[in-house]
Structure 1
């Protein structure tokens, strides 16, 4: 039976197009990050640089993967019989992107929740996913034939399920921990709500693509329809991390603007005499805290003048109201 070329190379070609589109978005996000966050820690900058280099290699590998059967070997039987040579690079490149990002979020969760075991569980599944992706690459090198693609089910299943579990855990833990940090202050709660929405959108997006990859891979083993999901996966991880890092400026601006508005209203005579704003002693309401070092803040402001190194910090402000003291009456002799 002749192989169905449309079901073999059609999904792979579409997946490559999506990968290249997301790579263009990644270029813009990377440029924006380096222009905006020049004071970030060196290791964060190196992580972003590492991801950009790996993603560039991944895009080149995907182009070469499609060029070989569709152009170089066009019309030859080997084009539809064997996997493209660069196809083996796909799984290991994806896990070399996803695992560092999942470990980054595990570290962030450790700072937010002060829980070592939650971070350890997420890190465990991240490393299991890397092992599964490496195993899948080794299997592709050994199998080589499209007809033997079902033999890759177990390593691929280990890879995708572990990645999916890690992504879902990251999303759930961040949403729960951030929800508990709402204080009742408008500026703080609005920033927290925006971070929660962004966490759900980014975390569940990668989990959705991993689940789609698993379902299509297991239920349609003799087609390449799973590559509609697979080839875009690494770019989704990188873009989600960059969008998280780049969102800090807008969140700081939002929190600072609302804090300034509150001060302006309070200073315009709309409060009773004796009203004062004081900073809660020794308190930092960390919304998106990713920094392990203590920083000094302006004691007269509810919003730090310096952006936090890795995240968003909004200082809680307490309003104290005092009734005016009535004037003393003069007594006549």
Structure 2
């Protein structure tokens, strides 16, 4: 039997990862609250998606707290419990994988909205299905085997985990790159619209980079530190970051609408803004002369480009304007 690893080496990073994940979960709650306060214009499926992800993340957090209690409290009286796989591990992973499937489906849908590329969208969807097939196999292994050494020694666990991490690294890179590429192609010559496109490109690239970095870290820690549960912490952080990215994307539309005051299509939803805010638009101007005073009014309507209309009327008591 291999030498028993020290407690800090085995669960130190895992417990710290749980603490960070709790912070990210709190951020998700705040973002979900903001979104639910401003979701009137969104379709029902998007509202259900946000609610479902929040419920799944909450259930996952409940079981994660059980893991923290098991490995940091119960294991004090019996250190050999540290090598056991508590029942809360597969329970939390089940809610985690369902939440990730829901969120990744939204991202694939958004990628289709922007690219309209059937081959690219279909290929990404197939890869994600394969990834979650490997992921489910890993969850089954955590139920089948009772200790971490047995799990690591299992014939199919290591290949399944490597395949899971490798595929998600690739698909996250593809999704982020595709969104940035098609946004770049659709950049408008209008200054405000160009600013929105640039903002969205930066958001997608940064979000994708964070997810890829967490997936890569999970794979590296799994291979380099087999006697540590640090890889489990990075898996948990990936799920939290993915949920935060979803709510950040949903709330970004409100921010863009407020800052830019123009129509934005994001994730299949169009958000109308104030048409009269564009620099190339002219307002209808109503001019009338009453007595010897010229009055210029600005109706609420506005028109763009060459459709400018001017309406003038004169009413004079003496029949002659005095200007």
- Identify whether the pair has TM-score above 0.5, normalized to the shorter chain: yes
TM band (smaller chain): 0.7 to 0.9
Aligned pairs for 1:165-314 (under 5 A) are 165-256=170-261, 288=266, 290-291=268-269, 302=278
**Displacement of 1:80 after TM fit?**
2.1
Which consecutive residues of structure 1, in runs of 5 or more, have no partner in the other structure?
Answer: 260-284, 304-316, 321-333
In structure 1, C-alpha distance between the alignment counterparts of 2:49 and 2:31, rounded to whole Å:
14
Paired with 1:297 and 1:4, the residues of 2 have a C-alpha distance of: 59
CA–CA separation in structure 2 for the residues paired with 1:170 and 1:40? 23
* Distance in 2 (alpha carbons) for counterparts of 1:221 and 1:236: 24
**CA–CA distance in 1 between the matches of 2:80 and 2:255?**
52
Runs (5+) with no aligned partner, structure 2: 280-302, 307-323
Tell me if the contact between 2:256 and 2:264 (Cα under 8 Å) persists in the aligned partners: no
Q: Is residue 135 of structure 1 aligned with residue 140 of structure 2?
A: no
Aligned counterpart, 1:61: 63
Higher strand share: 2
Conservation of the 8 A alpha-carbon contact between 1:15 and 1:229: yes
Of 3, 10, 13 in structure 2, the residue corresponding to residue 11 of structure 1 is: 13
- Indicate the SS of the match to 1:226: helix
* Helix, strand or coil at the partner of 2:179: helix
| Cα separation, partners in 2 of 1:177 and 1:286, compared to 1, 3 Å | farther
Q: Spell out, residue by residue over 1:245-278, the C-alpha distance to the aligned partner (whole angstroms, 9 max, x if none).
A: 101012122322xx7xxxxxxxxxxxxxxxxxxx
Aligned equivalents of 2:151 and 2:266: distance in 1? Answer: 43
Distance 2:83 2:272 in 1: 64
Q: How many residues are treated as equivalent by the alignment?
A: 280
Q: If you compute each CA radius of gyration, which structure gives the higher value, 1 or 2?
A: 2
Comparing 79-88 with 211-220, which one deviates more in the overlay? 79-88
Quote the RMSD (CA, aligned, Å): 2.6
State the SS of the aligned residue for 2:77: coil
Deviates more, 1:136-145 or 1:217-226: 217-226
Question: 1:108 offset after TM fit, Å?
Answer: 1.3
1:226, CA displacement in angstroms? 1.6
Question: TM-score, with normalisation over the residues of structure 2?
Answer: 0.79
